[in-house]
């Protein structure tokens, strides 16, 4: 049959086709083989298959399945082989193949039955695909998902996955943070858990899907708003691209930031705004006032002699004092006013608009009164006065720096004017402050060159009214003289103590000046005692004024004892004048210093009485001899009822405590009659004599003795 016969051409064509098939079989990325059912021998294999088991396309032919893949593997796949041959169904399985090259591969094996026309199974095709990479990738993915799951659980921060804004996964910390269960959150819109005002931004980020971080506000189940930071990334999760958001609770951070801001803007001791905060606020208020045309008042408050309290009574007392003062200032102000601690013992007050300077002055007066009240600190009663300077906007200055500077200058003038007062800024104060600086450096020179002189003012006893009370003042008995210092300035002539004593106190120059005064006064008293003109042996006691700093210097009483000894004067020839304020500080120390002086025979007098805040109980406990009624009360006598009442009360109180009472600054006969009628024991003043240099005093004393 021509059909059955194959001519040479046909044979060549067949060979070519076979060659094509072989090429194809060796090119596909699949290992292919054919095994006979009978005998299980390999009838065909492509190169990939043969090499997988260490053969080539030719020498594998005729080998049994067990010989090719090994006994163990053959036994393992027997169930598949069986079902393919017996049931004529395809089978597929995965297994690992330890390749001839030593590498273990994961392969997918498919077995296809070869069924004859008669329905008999004659063999099976084997197709093997290397799926090693595929499996590895899968395993890696599984691992990373597991890692992510672990990480989500281990993280302390909230983590949420969402797709298109719908929540697909959350971790326990986030559930904790927001107060929901997993079921309550899955499948819901992320926006439902965001505070309304923060939703727009979140929606934008969901839509644009950038990798970003931003602050937002989440909502707890109970409605609490929770400030959070979102860190947003796109990530593979659950087999697809999802959005991962780390939810960081930033409440602590915000609190810390607020604390830092508070610290930066507040004074730790008093809790008041500090300089920085005040200047910021001042700038704002000035801008508002410029727009509205309103005026503002700025007060610069500095405590008088605060450093001494701090140094002598300790920082604990100083701190308590500052806190109390801060509270008192705050209490004295009204809504809209601002108080700040500017540093040290300085406070600034910005007054909201008020009806002009008189209203501001009223606040100043109120502050002077309330700050000056004594207070208990560290078991002692202390008091401190403020010096207040005021500058008004826009009259005195237009910028914040200038306003503060002018209030400061006004405060400085309040200090040099005697402290414990409120002064308004005036043009020219800056020059005055400069002049004061010049005075200060000149004063230091004056101390070195001893440019001081003493003037003396007599004091005379007052007889009982009606008994010689009408006699001329000069006729009354001489009690002593008060030594009053003057500065013999080379250009300016004699400068009064009110002009330089406050400055000398502030700069501690009062110590050498005070020592000089004491020595000079004692030397003078010794000279007078020896003076024949005054009658041998007649002592004229001399009174010396003390400054707070002198009295507070440790060993002050010893210094006085030495001065007495060096001069040859007895203690009874010396009277020391203290002010009420000096008695206020530390009662124990004051009492022991006074007791020692008293033992020496020194007379102790409280000067300028009535201007301080000494309590009666306090005076009662101290070894004192005299009170001098301040001359401001005498000036109003006898017309001013208030002055009369105060002077009378002081006399009665002084006598009640067994003290002598001296009226100072008596200028007129009616004044003298008034104080005499009240029962004052002595007087001092222009009516009797002005303060005078020693030669004039000696003359006056001679005249007085003759009378
Ligand atoms: P003070 O101790 O109250 O002295 C009395 C002041 O009143 C003296 O002023 C005196 O001149 C003045 N005076 C006396 N009689 C009258 C009068 O009838 N009318 C008027 N208007 N004034 C009268 P001075 O000398 O200017 O002294 C002022 C203050 O300076 C003294 O007040 C005293 O506190 C202080 N001072 C004076 N010398 C010294 C001193 O050596 N050391 C210290 N620490 N302070 C002194
Ligand atoms: Mg005096
Ligand atoms: Mg006085």
The response to whether residue 690 sits with its C-beta less than 6 Å from ligand 1 reads no
CA distances from 538 to 462, 526, 541, 542, 573 (A): 20, 10, 10, 13, 10
Write the DSSP assignment of 324-356 as a string of letters: HHHHHHHHHS-TT-EEEEEETTEEEEEEPP-SH
Residue nearest to atom 46 of ligand 1 (CA): 545
Give the pairing type, strands 682-684 and 380-382. Answer: unpaired
Span(s) in the chain for CATH 3.30.70.270: 266-425
What is the predicted pLDDT for the residue at 473? 46
Pair 191, 199: CB distance under 8 Å: yes
The response to whether residue 517 sits with its C-beta less than 6 Å from ligand 1 reads yes
The response to whether residue 386 sits with its C-beta less than 6 Å from ligand 1 reads no
Residue nearest to atom 45 of ligand 1 (CA): 545
Is 64 strand, coil or helix? Answer: strand
Write the DSSP assignment of 277-311 as a string of letters: HHHHHHHHHHHHHHHHT--EEEEEEEETTHHHHHH
Atom of ligand 1 nearest to the CA of 455: 25
Residue carrying structure tokens 């005040």: 278
Which ranges of 531-624 would DSSP assign to H, the alpha helix?
548-552, 556-567, 580-584, 587-599, 616-620
Report the candidate in 274, 273, 301, 282 with the shortest Cα–Cα distance to residue 393. Answer: 282
What is the predicted pLDDT for the residue at 1? 46
CA distance 110 to 80: 9
- Convert the pLDDT of each residue in 525-569 to its tens digit: 999 888 755 655 457 899 999 998 888 888 899 999 999 999 999
Give the pLDDT band (50/70/90) at residue 474: very low
- Convert the pLDDT of each residue in 24-41 to its tens digit: 888 888 999 999 998 899
What DSSP character marks residue 696? H
What is the predicted pLDDT for the residue at 576? 96
Atom of ligand 1 nearest to the CA of 485: 38
Q: Does domain 438-706 have CATH number 3.20.20.450?
A: yes
Whether pLDDT at 2 is above 60: no
What is the predicted pLDDT for the residue at 264? 85
- Convert the pLDDT of each residue in 78-131 to its tens digit: 999 999 999 999 999 998 888 777 888 899 999 999 999 888 999 999 999 999
Q: Which CATH class is domain 266-425?
A: alpha beta
Proportion of the chain above pLDDT 70, given as a percent: 95
Span(s) in the chain for CATH 3.20.20.450: 438-706
The response to whether residue 521 sits with its C-beta less than 6 Å from ligand 1 reads no
Say whether pTM exceeds 0.85: no
Q: Which CATH class is domain 134-254?
A: alpha beta
Span(s) in the chain for CATH 3.30.450.20: 3-130, 134-254
State the burial class of residue 212 (Cβ atoms within 10 Å of its Cβ: 0-12, 13-18, 19+): exposed
CA distance 252 to 316: 33
What is the predicted pLDDT for the residue at 586? 65
Atom of ligand 1 nearest to the CA of 666: 18
Give the pLDDT band (50/70/90) at residue 284: very high
CA angle 222, 226, 231 (to 5 degrees): 130
**CATH fit for domain 3-130, picks 3.30.365.10, 3.10.129.10, 3.40.50.12780, 3.30.450.20:** 3.30.450.20
Proportion of the chain above pLDDT 90, given as a percent: 57
Q: Counting ligands in written order, which one lies closest to the CA of residue 610?
A: 3
- Convert the pLDDT of each residue in 625-657 to its tens digit: 999 999 988 998 899 888 898 899 999 999 999
The response to whether residue 372 sits with its C-beta less than 6 Å from ligand 1 reads no
State the burial class of residue 9 (Cβ atoms within 10 Å of its Cβ: 0-12, 13-18, 19+): exposed
CA of 548 to the centre of ligand 3 (A): 14
The response to whether residue 608 sits with its C-beta less than 6 Å from ligand 1 reads yes
The response to whether residue 190 sits with its C-beta less than 6 Å from ligand 1 reads no
What is the predicted pLDDT for the residue at 531? 74
What is the predicted pLDDT for the residue at 221? 95
Mean pLDDT of 469-488: 76
The response to whether residue 667 sits with its C-beta less than 6 Å from ligand 1 reads yes
Pair 359, 264: CB distance under 8 Å: no
Atom of ligand 1 nearest to the CA of 510: 44
- Convert the pLDDT of each residue in 344-375 to its tens digit: 999 999 998 887 888 999 999 999 999 999 88
């Amino acid at each position: 049959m021509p059909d059955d016969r194959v001519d040479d051409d046909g044979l060549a064509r067949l060979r070519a086709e076979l060659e094509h098939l072989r090429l194809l079989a060796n090119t596909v990325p699949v290992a292919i083989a054919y095994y006979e059912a009978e005998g299980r021998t390999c009838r065909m294999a492509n190169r990939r298959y043969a090499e997988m088991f260490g053969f080539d396309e030719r020498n594998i032919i005729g080998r049994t399945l067990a010989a090719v893949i090994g006994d163990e593997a053959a036994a393992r796949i027997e169930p598949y082989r069986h079902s393919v041959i017996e049931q004529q169904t395809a089978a597929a399985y995965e297994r690992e193949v330890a390749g001839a090259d030593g590498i273990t591969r994961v392969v997918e094996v498919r077995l296809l039955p070869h069924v004859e026309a008669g329905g008999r199974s004659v063999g099976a095709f084997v197709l093997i695909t290397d799926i090693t990479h595929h499996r590895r990738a899968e395993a890696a993915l599984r691992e990373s998902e597991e890692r992510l799951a672990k990480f989500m659980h281990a993280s302390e921060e909230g983590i949420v996955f969402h797709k298109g804004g719908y929540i697909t996964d959350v971790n326990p910390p986030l559930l904790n943070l927001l107060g929901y269960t997993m079921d309550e959150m899955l499948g819901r819109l992320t926006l439902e858990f965001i505070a309304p005002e923060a939703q727009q931004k979140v929606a934008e980020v969901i839509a644009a899907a950038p990798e970003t971080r931003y602050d937002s506000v989440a909502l707890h189940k109970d409605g609490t708003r929770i400030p959070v930071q979102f860190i947003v990334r796109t990530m593979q999760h659950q087999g697809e691209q999802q959005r991962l958001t780390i939810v960081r609770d930033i409440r602590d951070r915000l609190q810390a930031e607020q604390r830092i801001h508070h610290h930066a803007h507040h004074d730790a001791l008093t809790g008041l705004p500090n300089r920085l905060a005040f200047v910021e606020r001042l700038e704002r208020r000035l801008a508002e006032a410029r727009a509205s045309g309103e005026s503002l008042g700025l007060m610069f408050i500095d405590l008088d002699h605060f450093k001494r309290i701090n140094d002598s009574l300790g920082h604990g007392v100083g701190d308590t004092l500052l806190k109390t003062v801060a509270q008192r200032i705050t209490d004295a102000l009204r809504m809209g006013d601002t108080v700040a601690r500017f540093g040290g013992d300085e406070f600034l007050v910005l007054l909201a608009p008020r009806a002009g300077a008189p209203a501001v002055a009223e606040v100043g007066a109120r502050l002077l009164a309330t700050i000056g009240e004594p207070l208990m600190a560290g078991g002692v009663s202390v008091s401190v006065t403020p010096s207040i300077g005021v500058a008004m906007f826009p009259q005195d200055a237009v910028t914040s720096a200038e306003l503060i500077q002018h209030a400061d200058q006004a405060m400085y003038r309040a200090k040099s004017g005697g402290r414990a007062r409120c002064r308004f800024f005036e043009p020219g104060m800056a020059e005055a402050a400069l002049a004061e600086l010049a005075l200060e450096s000149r004063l230091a020179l004056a101390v070195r060159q001893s440019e001081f002189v003493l003037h003396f003012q007599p004091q005379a006893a007052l007889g009982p009214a009606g008994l010689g009370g009408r006699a001329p003042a000069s006729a009354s008995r001489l009690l002593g003289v008060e030594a009053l210092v003057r500065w013999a300035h080379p250009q300016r002539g004699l400068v009064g103590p009110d002009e330089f004593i406050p400055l000398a106190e502030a700069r501690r120059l009062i110590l050498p000046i005070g020592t000089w005064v004491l020595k000079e006064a004692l030397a003078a008293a010794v000279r007078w005692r020896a003076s024949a003109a005054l009658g041998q042996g007649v002592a004229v006691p001399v009174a010396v004024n003390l400054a707070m700093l002198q009295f507070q210097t440790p060993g002050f009483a010893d210094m006085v004892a030495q001065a007495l000894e060096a001069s040859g004067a007895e203690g009874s020839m010396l009277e020391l004048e203290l002010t009420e304020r000096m008695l206020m500080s530390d009662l124990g120390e004051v009492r022991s210093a006074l007791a020692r002086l008293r033992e020496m025979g020194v007379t102790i007098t409280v000067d300028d009485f009535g201007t301080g805040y000494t309590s009666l109980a306090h005076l009662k406990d101290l070894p004192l001899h005299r009170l001098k009624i301040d001359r401001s009360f005498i000036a109003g006598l006898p017309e001013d009822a208030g002055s009369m009442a105060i002077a009378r009360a002081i006399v009665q109180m002084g006598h009640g405590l067994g003290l002598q009472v001296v009226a100072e600054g008596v200028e007129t006969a009616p004044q003298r009659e008034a104080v005499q009628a009240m029962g004052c024991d002595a007087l001092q003043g222009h009516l009797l004599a002005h303060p005078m240099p020693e030669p004039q005093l000696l003359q006056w004393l001679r005249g007085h003795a003759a009378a």
